[in-house]
Chain A
Amino acid sequence: MGLGNLVMGDEGLGVAFARAMEKEDLPEYVTVMDGGTGGFHLMGHLEAHPKVILVDATMDGGVPGTIRLIRPRFSSDFPKAISTHDIGLKDLIEGMLILGKMPDIYLFVVTIETIQPLYVGLTPEIEAVIPKVIQEVKQLITQLMSE
């Protein structure tokens, strides 16, 4: 599931990932989803899958394009840029955690330099990272299924 806002430039890389990933040849037990800025609306989808791989942008001050895999347990483990709205993904994660309904989450974060408000599209350097993210996600899928 790619997360992000398409009209905020590089912030939309998760969505760009999901769109590219959909074109890949994937096992049938894998669902690709554009989570966008769905917030609460994503709960059903998260609950319906035992393992969820998320892809999102982060402004962590690192080198743009850096890919990291983290295993978030709490909402504070998510990138700061993740939904700052009242009822966003963070509240959902907290709620599901307390309810004991959190799936196993793997989160790929990609460092971006800045958000470009009201801009559709990625900068070339972030665009170039997408194939690499796809490759890493596919590797993780293979690894998870062999466990």
Chain B
Amino acid sequence: MSQRIVIDPITRIEGHLRVEAEIKDGKVAQAYSSGTMVRLLEEILKGRDPRDAWAFVGRVCGVCTSVHSLASVRSVEDALDIVIPPNAELVRNIMFCTQYMHDHVVHFYHLHALDWVDIVSALSADPKKTSEIAQSISNYPKSSPGYFSDLIARLKKFVDSGQLGIFANGYWGHPAYKLPPEINLIGVAHYLEALEWQKEVVKIHTIFGGKNPHPNYLVGGMACSIGLDESSVINAERLAYVSDLLHQAKTFIEQVYIPDLLAIAPYYLDWASIGGGLGNYLSYGDLPTNGYRDPLSYKFPAGAILNKDISKVYEVDLRNDAEVQEFVTHSWYDYAEGNEKGLHPWKGESKINYTGPKPPYEYLDVEQKYSYLKTPRWKGHAMEVGPLSRMLVGYAKGIPEYKDIVDKTLAKLGAPITALFSTLGRTAARGLESVLVAQWALEFYDQLIANIRNGDSRMANTEKFNPDRWEKQAQGVGHSEAPRGALAHWIVIEDKKIKNYQLVVPTTWNASPRDFEGKMSAYESSLMDNTPVANPDQPVEILRTIHSFDPCLACSVHLYDEEGKHLSRVKVL
């Protein structure tokens, strides 16, 4: 715990999330979520060449890398009416799937698993029993008693050296940990396996995008040329390597990630009725199979669900200025026409006015403005975005592959459909969509190869790359489904330059402060939905719910006792 970390935005990776929660009768009674760091890419982009925007916005985050660049090039293409070649769409889709598989696996094992898996308990596991369990849940070859006893020996050697390391990062021994030592050991083993695997799969980004993080994009297509027999472009050897990596990823997800998820979930079924929150779900859709302009062709369908009613999916129109709007009632911004009205992002403003307490401070004044995140609303509704929203929209639309995987999983766990509206549901949905994405990635790959075989090597449409061919004024919206949820960039172009640019990112939907009517957004609402806190000094339960959203921000949590007195200040790990 370090006070400096709690108060100042000095971490090396972007974004700070602060949650202030009040605990009453062992439960979260009040929760406030605050983003305490400014990004403001919007202001940096004004006056720049729209063709360069992707390179700037890509740097918003090194974890969610590439999705912002994708949304950006789409916004420019939308504004300028540029249709990209099928191969470019396929390469973008393959990179998109790669990002998902990497991000979801790293989130599960390295950011979220330790909320459920007790590493210290793993030390007392019986290797033989662990091996039996591992072999009963998966065909993954690394599952012999020798493999697990070797791992225990390594872990013990590490602990015996007097180092706590990752062993110090959690609340080990907390009564909320329910797994037997053997399943804990499997979790630790795969934490390490995932560490090894994750560095491989991102090579796909380096092959198509030149580098990772922050691979290269291009307005009009992709900046990678393909020639099967040529030496200096993406050739048959490189493509075969991509195929290997995609197959490895699919194997890892199907044989490691999903079996672990299903082995852990039965011990935590109480979390299927905790942390649900809003019950409103939004997806913009993504993974076009017939071009970005044809939303009906998307693998991830677009739509909105209200009040947990999956019998109806509402259409979403990002161009309609009455649908997506951002409010600043509780955000450190000022709108020119007053802070009460919401603004559609094409007319969006990003003028900062920090009125919070001077750091270092103890509490935020949550009655006033308390976050650098704006508060987005869809037709006035607070919406949750992310894997659960995507899976629910696909399921509610009756798409067979969604129905199939969701129903099978629920049957396996003996849980009703309502179990999805929860912390556990969110974490499960992320795993299930990883399975779908791993399959789709191979479909896209096969289509790319087929196109190339048929002689189509087009990768970019450069007809309108020259700004002399642009309209004097144009506006567009580029949307995507980032791993963390619905993402869109709205651009206004005038005289070949960016006149206005607004990003509305997934974590803004989920982590934003209350709106003009006092309605909570997803984080606050889910924390106040039945989230227990057995020991305020070790709020592992709060971590479970917040981490189930895959927050893209380093977190700090402040806790209060029933009188609102400050109890402890805990850095979330």
Chain A residues close to B by CB (< 8 Å)? 4-5, 8, 11, 37-41, 43-44, 47, 74-76, 80, 83-88, 90-92, 94-100, 115, 117
Return chain A residues, CB-CB under 8 Å to B166: 91, 94-95
Min CB gap A58→B, angstroms: 13
Min CB gap A39→B, angstroms: 7
Contact between B198 and A40, CB atoms less than 8 A apart: yes
Contact between B13 and A83, CB atoms less than 8 A apart: yes
Contact between B13 and A37, CB atoms less than 8 A apart: yes
Min CB gap A117→B, angstroms: 6
Q: Pick the residue among B10, B195, B213 that contacts A99 (CB under 8 A).
A: B195
Return chain A residues, CB-CB under 8 Å to B223: none
Given contact pairs A39-B62, A76-B163, enumerate 4 new A-B contacts (beta carbons under 8 Å).
Answer: A5-B12, A8-B10, A87-B106, A99-B154
Q: Pick the residue among A37, A80, A98, A117 that contacts B192 (CB under 8 A).
A: A98
Contact between B554 and A95, CB atoms less than 8 A apart: no
- In whole angstroms, what is the CA distance A74 to B162 when docked? 10
Task: For chain B, residues 199 to 231, give those with C-beta under 8 angstroms from any C-beta of chain A.
Answer: 199, 202, 212-213
Contact between B154 and A86, CB atoms less than 8 A apart: no
- In whole angstroms, what is the CA distance A97 to B159 when docked? 12
> Can you name the residue of chain A whose Cβ is closest to the Cβ of B162?
A74
Return chain A residues, CB-CB under 8 Å to B155: 98
Return chain A residues, CB-CB under 8 Å to B202: 41
Given the interface pairs A74-B165, A91-B110, the reply to whether A43 lies near B154 with Cβ below 8 Å is no
Q: Pick the residue among B12, B62, B158, B212 that contacts A8 (CB under 8 A).
A: B12
> Can you name the residue of chain A whose Cβ is closest to the Cβ of B155?
A98
Task: For chain B, residues 164 to 202, give those with C-beta under 8 angstroms from any C-beta of chain A.
Answer: 165-166, 191-192, 195-196, 198-199, 202
B111 at the interface (CB under 8 A from A): yes
B366 at the interface (CB under 8 A from A): no
Min CB gap A35→B, angstroms: 11
B466 at the interface (CB under 8 A from A): no
A sample of 12 cross-chain residue pairs with beta-carbon separation below 8 angstroms, ordered by A number, consists of: A4-B12, A8-B12, A39-B13, A41-B212, A43-B198, A74-B163, A85-B13, A86-B554, A87-B110, A88-B13, A90-B165, A92-B195
Contact between B106 and A40, CB atoms less than 8 A apart: yes
Contact between B154 and A117, CB atoms less than 8 A apart: no
Return chain A residues, CB-CB under 8 Å to B12: 4-5, 8, 11, 37, 83-85, 88
Return chain A residues, CB-CB under 8 Å to B111: 86-87
Return chain A residues, CB-CB under 8 Å to B154: 98-100
> Can you name the residue of chain B whose Cβ is closest to the Cβ of A84?
B11
- In whole angstroms, what is the CA distance A83 to B554 when docked? 11
- In whole angstroms, what is the CA distance A80 to B9 when docked? 15
Given the interface pairs A41-B202, A74-B165, A97-B158, the reply to whether A86 lies near B573 with Cβ below 8 Å is yes
Min CB gap A113→B, angstroms: 14
> Can you name the residue of chain A whose Cβ is closest to the Cβ of B572?
A86
Given the interface pairs A76-B163, A117-B10, the reply to whether A40 lies near B199 with Cβ below 8 Å is yes
B232 at the interface (CB under 8 A from A): no
> Can you name the residue of chain B whose Cβ is closest to the Cβ of A45?
B199
> Can you name the residue of chain B whose Cβ is closest to the Cβ of A74?
B163
B8 at the interface (CB under 8 A from A): yes
Return chain A residues, CB-CB under 8 Å to B198: 40, 43
Q: Could you say which of A8, A76, A86, A95 has the most chain B C-beta atoms within 10 Å of its C-beta? A: A86
B161 at the interface (CB under 8 A from A): yes
Contact between A43 and B11, CB atoms less than 8 A apart: no
B5 at the interface (CB under 8 A from A): yes
Task: For chain B, residues 542 to 573, give those with C-beta under 8 angstroms from any C-beta of chain A.
Answer: 554, 573
Contact between A99 and B554, CB atoms less than 8 A apart: no
Contact between A44 and B163, CB atoms less than 8 A apart: no
- In whole angstroms, what is the CA distance A97 to B161 when docked? 12
Task: For chain B, residues 1 to 19, give those with C-beta under 8 angstroms from any C-beta of chain A.
Answer: 2, 5, 8-13
- In whole angstroms, what is the CA distance A114 to B212 when docked? 30
Return chain A residues, CB-CB under 8 Å to B13: 37, 39, 83, 85, 88
- In whole angstroms, what is the CA distance A95 to B9 when docked? 26
Return chain A residues, CB-CB under 8 Å to B62: 37-39, 41
- In whole angstroms, what is the CA distance A88 to B195 when docked? 12
- Report the 8 A-B pairs with minimum CB-CB distance, sorted nearest first: A37-B12, A85-B13, A94-B165, A44-B199, A95-B195, A5-B12, A43-B199, A74-B163
> Can you name the residue of chain A whose Cβ is closest to the Cβ of B194?
A95
Task: For chain B, residues 232 to 276, give those with C-beta under 8 angstroms from any C-beta of chain A.
Answer: none
Q: Could you say which of A41, A98, A100 has the most chain B C-beta atoms within 10 Å of its C-beta? A: A98
Contact between B10 and A84, CB atoms less than 8 A apart: yes
Q: Pick the residue among B2, B191, B554 that contacts A85 (CB under 8 A).
A: B554
- In whole angstroms, what is the CA distance A45 to B191 when docked? 20
Contact between A117 and B8, CB atoms less than 8 A apart: yes
Return chain A residues, CB-CB under 8 Å to B199: 40-41, 43-44, 47
Contact between B158 and A98, CB atoms less than 8 A apart: yes
Contact between B196 and A99, CB atoms less than 8 A apart: yes
Contact between A75 and B165, CB atoms less than 8 A apart: yes
Min CB gap B210→A, angstroms: 15
- In whole angstroms, what is the CA distance A47 to B110 when docked? 19
- In whole angstroms, what is the CA distance A95 to B113 when docked? 15
- In whole angstroms, what is the CA distance A43 to B10 when docked? 23
> Can you name the residue of chain A whose Cβ is closest to the Cβ of B573?
A86
Return chain B residues, CB-CB under 8 Å to A87: 106, 110-111
Q: Could you say which of A76, A83, A87, A99 has the most chain B C-beta atoms within 10 Å of its C-beta? A: A87
Return chain A residues, CB-CB under 8 Å to B110: 40, 86-87, 91
Return chain B residues, CB-CB under 8 Å to A40: 106, 110, 195, 198-199
Given the interface pairs A115-B10, A117-B8, the reply to whether A95 lies near B192 with Cβ below 8 Å is yes
- In whole angstroms, what is the CA distance A40 to B554 when docked? 15
Return chain B residues, CB-CB under 8 Å to A84: 2, 5, 10-12, 554
Return chain B residues, CB-CB under 8 Å to A83: 11-13
Min CB gap B303→A, angstroms: 31
- In whole angstroms, what is the CA distance A99 to B10 when docked? 30
Contact between A85 and B11, CB atoms less than 8 A apart: yes
Return chain A residues, CB-CB under 8 Å to B11: 83-85
